[in-house]
Homo-oligomer: A and B are copies of this chain.
Amino acid sequence: MKGFKFAGVAAGIKKNSKKDLGLIFCDAPAAAAALFTRNRVTAAPVILGKEKIKQGRVQAVLVNSGNANCFTGEKGIEDARACSRLTAEALGIDSDLVMVSSTGVIGAHLPMDKFETGVPCVVAELSGQAEQFEKGVEDFSEAILTTDTCRKIVRETGFILGKPFTILGMAKGSGMIRPDMATMLAFVCTDVQITSSDLKTALTWANEKSFNRITVDGDTSTNDTLLALANASSGVRIQDGESKIIFQEALDTVCQDLARMVVKDGEGATKLVRISVKGAKTNQDAFKAAEAIAHSNLVKTAIYGEDPNWGRITAAAGRSGAQVAMEKMDLFFDDQALVIQGKWQGIEAEKNTAKIMENKEINITLDLNLGTRSDAFLFCDFSEDYVKINADYRS
């Protein structure tokens, strides 16, 4: 993918000397679009980013982990501006073209001395040649992680009129995951030629069925950002209807794969679960029921315990606000029916279900049998480790 460079270094922002400062650089300004958290408590880089993205062009993105620069007042905004400026100076570009993102602990000021030494280092690290490109992608993807246990990288190639284009997505996220119209940190780079307005539309669609349909713990981050950059280096133009569809499909795949990786790497998670709600009367009902099930701590702990406790699933649907009728509900684990028309299917069905629950990935389908609407959520189970990770997070 020509024209993009990536790097990641350990700048000492995290206490554990892991990589914590990442950089994306485009040879020339790229068309850019972004979605941000709807949380009203918003990190300084998000406040700044909302302003900067209006111009629709970005050339560099500096991302730090270990500190969210959130709830840091006027000084937080100044610090974020200083990070842009440091990066722009080291790269020799206009600081208006630099976006910054932060993730980590809320409420502490950025250690600016670490940025003063770190930014020149990460700029120097920028991968130039082909053999360094992959290393750059890996280093960047590592530098943006917090409690994540693995890097999250997705690459998708598509063809328009026989010409190939690429979308490369990188994300972080493991806890405080309940995106609300946006996401944790995710960066999508593509070599197509597209206007920033069309990119925003495509990104909004992709987000709606990916990052907006996942949950780890029901908490929405203050720093959620999904940023897309398109640098036109492939020569593929996204303009007419057909090219838009092909690009959208590729972008959907990247966002959905990244979202899936985030949930799979959920704090303390041992299983990945997809809850599909079918047969709802309205789209809203399908969403509400799926969301309530995906958020239920009782459902999540039962899945961790590999207990086919279907009463908790149906009870969560019942309290969701969605229209439901007990005597109509069907419930499946993979293809195994556990409840049909509100009736438990017996001990054999339950034993088969318990067997299915031993798998690492589980598909649950709740058919409300009241209409034709459906929706789905990805979520993870809830183990003692989630509690351990979050009771000790700052110490």
Contact = CB atoms under 8 A, between A and B. Distances in A.
A343 to B, nearest CB: 6
A10 to B, nearest CB: 24
B311 A106 contact: yes
Contacts of A305: 390-393, 395
A391 B311 contact: no
A218 B315 CA distance: 12
Nearest to A303: B391
Contacts of A68: 311
Contact of A314 (B106, B309, B311): B106
Given A301-B386, A324-B40, A324-B41, A391 B307 contact: yes
B41 A176 contact: no
A379 to B, nearest CB: 13
A312 interface: yes
Interface string A341-360: 01110000000000000000
A301 B387 contact: yes
A120 interface: no
What is the oligomeric copy number? 2
B73 A327 contact: yes
Given A176-B298, A298-B175, A309 B39 contact: no
Contacts of A296: 218-219
A105 B311 contact: yes
Contacts of A386: 297, 301, 387
B41 A318 contact: yes
A387 B315 contact: no
B71 A326 contact: yes
A388 interface: yes
Contact of A393 (B309, B326, B343, B382): B309
Interface in A64-116: 68, 70-71, 73, 105-108
Given A220-B315, A305-B392, 15 more contacts: A39-B319, A40-B322, A41-B318, A106-B309, A175-B298, A176-B315, A217-B298, A218-B296, A219-B297, A219-B319, A301-B386, A301-B390, A305-B393, A307-B394, A386-B387
